[in-house]
Amino acid sequence: MLFKVEDTFRVEGKGLLLSGKGKTNLKGVDFQSELKLKLPNGSELATSVIGINWSNGDLIVSDAENLQVPIGTEVWLLEPKK
């Protein structure tokens, strides 16, 4: 698990920014990395990284218009890039 979502923000024309505490090292995360979002209700969503804020580890993910990501969602990296 990379981190748990504590806040989200839609970036117009870009995607959905996911922010959270307890972020682990983002080694292996890169543009177009595939992510699994485990929602608090037990369901899962798939998305990909389209932006990274390296200073604080926030991620911008695709499908922003369609994603509803509640607080407490776990963000998992599917296949780390080497």
Domain positions in the chain are 3-77
- Domain 3-77 homologous superfamily, CATH: Translation factors (2.40.30.10)
Select from 42, 39, 37, 5 the least CA-distant residue to 22.
5
17-73 pLDDT tens trace: 999 976 667 878 999 999 999 999 999 999 999 999 888 889 999 976 678 899 999
Bridge partners (DSSP) of residue 46 are 36
Kindly report the number of other CB atoms within 10 A of residue 6's CB atom. 13
pTM of the predicted model over 0.95: no
